[in-house]
Structure 1
Amino acid sequence: MARQHPYNFAHVLLPQLAWRRPVAVRRELADPYLARELLLYVWDKAAENVAPVDRVPSKGLRLTWHEVAGRTTALLQLPAPQATMEVHFSALVYEEDEEPAENEAEETRPRYFTLEAALGLSGPAGTPTVVAEWSGDTHRQLGRGPAGGRPGTAEAFLEALAAVLGPRPNTQVPVMRIVRS
């Protein structure tokens, strides 16, 4: 069973914050200093109702930015999982190329994916994982993920996300010309 502290961070607080304030969170995560402060604040909030003995240090919590299938993606590495449903990596995937203005009426929520530890024995190849997506209150498993705890796990997770996302939808409508002979 997942430890409450990392579960609260990855499955509850982080996605809720990113969906509630998409533009502000994206802007804060883009600034290295603000990103560190925001992530440590959310990590500490995730431990508020957890017994001190069950709190997990933030060691290993990192953020990097990537382009996945033409989409800007914030990839978060979490402290090493020790139980099923704990997260190796999570990703906020933004469909827009750039940050929209904060006063825009409709802020597009990022998609939120996780690479979670799964049931199974750990071996030399790594630990079993599953790729999942949160959408509101819905948690949907998308299939087996790359082995966790390996040097190439982050890159393999990003490749798995690219396969899930597919090519970026073309924003231009194709022109169809009918030619009669």
Structure 2
Amino acid sequence: MARPHPYAFAHVLVPQLAGRRPAAVRRELADPALARELLLYMWEKAAEGLPPAEHVPARGLRLTWHEVAGRAVALLHLPAPQASTEAHFGALVYENDADDYPDEKDDNEGDEGDGPAAGSGAPAPEALDAARPRYFLLEATLGRSSDEAGTPTAVGEWRGEHYRQLGRGPAAGRPDTAPNFLKALAQVLGPLPGAGVPYMRIAR
């Protein structure tokens, strides 16, 4: 059974925040210091209301950026899972360039001020829909791995309130688990429309 702390972080808080505030979250994740601060804040937030015995240390929690099939991908390296549906990695996949959409408006902002959203209200829903990243997980799963040197996984995706499992993922616990997860994402994403990007190009 999945531990509630890492499950809440990977399956609830990350997709909610990244979907609700796509531009702001992307900007923070692009700055190493802010990214570390944001991840630790969310990790602590995921433990709220849980007894201390159920708190899990943030050991190994970090972020790296990659290019996968022409998209910018923020890869979340998560604390080692200990049960099925806990995740080894999360991946926020941004289809558009960072400046291709307007900033979303803070919930507590007024209509006046000097910021980009001043006087204009929130951006149109379709603009935010285009900006929201896709969010994938490489989850621990039950069963036997096809690779004896690793443990079995599954690739899943959260889109809004809906979750779908996309099939078996690469063996976990290996040095090549992260790049193999990115290769699996390239297969799912396909080439970026109109970009002429090679189907399987992955660059760190």
> Is the counterpart of residue 40 in structure 1 residue 40 in structure 2?
yes
Q: 2:60, 2:78 within 8 Å by CA — same for their partners in 1?
A: yes
Counterpart CA distance in 2 for 1:52 and 1:111 is: 32
- Partner residue in 1 for 2:88: 88
- Partner residue in 1 for 2:137: 114
Moved over 4 A (4+): 121-124
- Partner residue in 1 for 2:169: 145
Matched residue SS, 1:56: coil
Q: 2:153, 2:170 within 8 Å by CA — same for their partners in 1?
A: yes
Counterpart CA distance in 2 for 1:96 and 1:81 is: 31
Counterpart CA distance in 2 for 1:151 and 1:171 is: 31
Counterpart CA distance in 2 for 1:38 and 1:98 is: 18
Any residues of structure 2 matched to 1:69-88 within 5 Å, and which?
Answer: 69-88=69-88
1 or 2 for the larger relative contact order (CA 8 Å, sep ≥6)? 2
Residues 130-179 of structure 1 show CA distances to partners (whole Å, capped at 9, x for unaligned) of 0000011111000100001111100000000000000011179xxxxxxx
Counterpart CA distance in 1 for 2:153 and 2:14 is: 20
Aligned residues: 172
Structure 1 residues not aligned, in runs of 5+: 173-181
Root mean square deviation, CA, Å: 1.6
Shift of residue 98, structure 1, vs aligned partner? 2.7
* TM-score when normalising by structure 2: 0.81
Residue in structure 2 matching 1:168, options 192, 196, 200: 192
Counterpart CA distance in 2 for 1:30 and 1:113 is: 18
